[in-house]
Structure 1
Amino acid sequence: MMQDNHNTPLILLGGTLCNHRLWQPVIERLRVSHVTSIVTSGADSARELSSRLLVTLPPRFCVAGFSLGAMVALQMLADAPERLAGIALLSVNPLADLPANAVGRRAAVCEAQAFGVGRWVSEKMWQKYVAPGHQDDAGMRSVIATMADESGIETFSRQTEIAISRADHRAALAAFSRPSLILNGAYDAICTPQHHQLAAEAAKTARWLTHSDSGHFLPLEAPDWVATALRVWIKESQA
Structure 2
Amino acid sequence: MKPLKNEAVPLILLGGTLCDEQLWQPMLNTLSVSHVQCLTLQDEECAQAAAERLLAQLPARFCVCGFSLGAIVALQLQAIAPQRIAGLALISVNPFADLPQNAQPRRTAVEHARALGFEAFITQQLWPRYVAGQRQNDADLRQNIIAMAQNCGHEVFARQTEIAISRIDRRDALTKLTVPVLLVNGEEDPICTVEHHRAAHHAAPSAHWQTLPGVGHFVPLEAPQLTAKVLHSWLNEVLLCELTH
Q: TM bucket by the smaller chain?
A: over 0.9
User: Does the Cα contact within 8 Å between 2:5 and 2:35 map onto a contact in 1?
Assistant: no
Q: TM-score, normalised on structure 2? A: 0.96
1:72 alignment partner in structure 2: 73
- SS state at 2:105 partner: helix
Q: Which runs of 5+ in 1 are unaligned?
A: none
Deviations 1:180-207 (A, max 9, x none): 0000000001111111100110011100
Equivalence map 1:25-44=2 (5 Å): 25-44=26-45
Q: Distance in 1 between matches of 2:81 and 2:208?
A: 22
1:16 alignment partner in structure 2: 17
Q: Distance in 1 between matches of 2:88 and 2:231?
A: 10
Give 1:124 deviation, angstroms: 1.3
Q: Distance in 2 between matches of 1:52 and 1:6?
A: 23
User: Does the Cα contact within 8 Å between 1:119 and 1:145 map onto a contact in 2?
Assistant: no
- SS state at 2:155 partner: helix
- SS state at 1:29 partner: coil
Q: Distance in 2 between matches of 1:5 and 1:97?
A: 38
Equivalence map 1:34-113=2 (5 Å): 34-113=35-114
User: Does the Cα contact within 8 Å between 1:118 and 1:147 map onto a contact in 2?
Assistant: no
The answer to whether the aligner puts 1:212 opposite 2:213 as a matched pair is: yes
Q: Distance in 1 between matches of 2:103 and 2:228?
A: 34
1:228 alignment partner in structure 2: 229
User: Does the Cα contact within 8 Å between 1:23 and 1:37 map onto a contact in 2?
Assistant: yes
Structure 2 letter corresponding to 1:132: G
1:114 alignment partner in structure 2: 115
Q: TM-score, normalised on structure 1? A: 0.98
Give 1:167 deviation, angstroms: 1.1
Deviations 1:89-142 (A, max 9, x none): 000000000111100100000001000123211221101000001011111000
Give 1:2 deviation, angstroms: 6.8
2:187 alignment partner in structure 1: 186
2:133 alignment partner in structure 1: 132
The alignment's C-alpha RMSD in Å is 1.1
Deviations 1:131-161 (A, max 9, x none): 0010111110000011111111000000000
Structure 1 letter corresponding to 2:176: A
